[in-house]
Amino acid sequence: MAVSFTGAGTAVAASGASPQAVTTATALNAGDFVVALIVYDNSGGSGADPMSGTIALAPATGAVGASVSAQTGLNDPGTASSGLAARCVAFPVTVTIPSGTVVNVSWTGTVVVRAVAFMKVATALVTSYRANSGTGANAVAATTIAHTTPSVTNGEGVLCWVGHEYGEAVTGDADTTNGTWSAVYGANTGSTTSGQGAYFQSKIVTATATQAFNPTGTSSDWIAGSLIFTETALPPPPIYPTLQPRVPS
């Protein structure tokens, strides 16, 4: 079984306190990972990230373990609500969560305009490691963000995420170098500088190299990052000596 990626649910809100409810769009099985991306207005003082602490998922007691990877980003031109912030967190699934389950995404702080997307990462046995997150440091809004992953080994799966402040769907990267990007998956809400969008794309690479991730959209502020998943071979079964039947003397 190779690494696979499946969109697992989205939600948007214009305002409101934590938590944000997301209804799963597919079953999350024990042994999978669920990657949660939340993109929101940089409504803190002077454009700071208004969220503090860690993101937690609460679908059911013990259904997900402690986060194994967390990335944050802030595109902050220096004025409240003129940019965006993002957090992307991976959790191991420990108890199967059926499709249609309401999962609460919780945090500390007042977060207004926001978009949330879940991605399911399935494989027989995986090890994940954090990749660099591009902070979208363009002080001037752009139509494209350029994110480059660390080197990804042939056969590994790379999951890239992007936050876009505009309130419209982004156009995914269509590059086919060393593999083909999936269709873009996510959600958006609001409009212009009062909007936010959260999106994923994935690729199973066919040659070892860095990967360029360049989604596009209306000129606005961006943040992007990436996670890399590799499948580890299961250990061989133990070999037991064959017992010969005893022949009576």
Q: What is the pLDDT along the chain (249 residues), one digit of tens a residue?
A: 688 999 999 999 998 889 999 999 999 999 899 999 999 999 999 889 999 888 999 987 789 988 888 888 888 778 888 889 999 999 999 999 999 999 999 999 989 999 999 999 997 666 655 455 554 555 567 888 888 888 888 999 999 999 999 889 999 999 999 999 999 999 999 988 889 999 999 999 999 999 999 999 999 888 999 998 887 665 555 665 655 666 666
Q: Which domain holds residue 144?
A: 4-230
Instruction: Say if 40 falls within a structural domain.
Output: yes
**Secondary structure (H, E, C), 79-120:** CCCCCEEEEEEEEEECCCECCCCEEEEEEECCCCCEEEEEEE
38 is a domain residue: yes
Residues in contact with 188: Cβ distance below 8 Å, sequence separation at least 6, in sequence order: 12, 115, 164, 166, 167, 168, 169, 170, 195, 196, 197, 198
156 part of a folded domain: yes
- When divided into structural domains, the chain yields a total of 1
Residue at 242 is within a domain: no
Q: Record the pTM.
A: 0.89
In a domain, 237, yes or no: no
> Does the residue 52 lie in any domain?
yes
Would residue 239 count as lying in a domain? no
User: What are the DSSP calls for 7-71, one per residue?
Assistant: EEEEEEESS-PSPEEEE-SS-B-TT-EEEEEEEEE--SGGG----EEEEEE-SSTTSB-S-SEEE
Asked whether residue 161 is assigned to any structural domain, the reply reads: yes
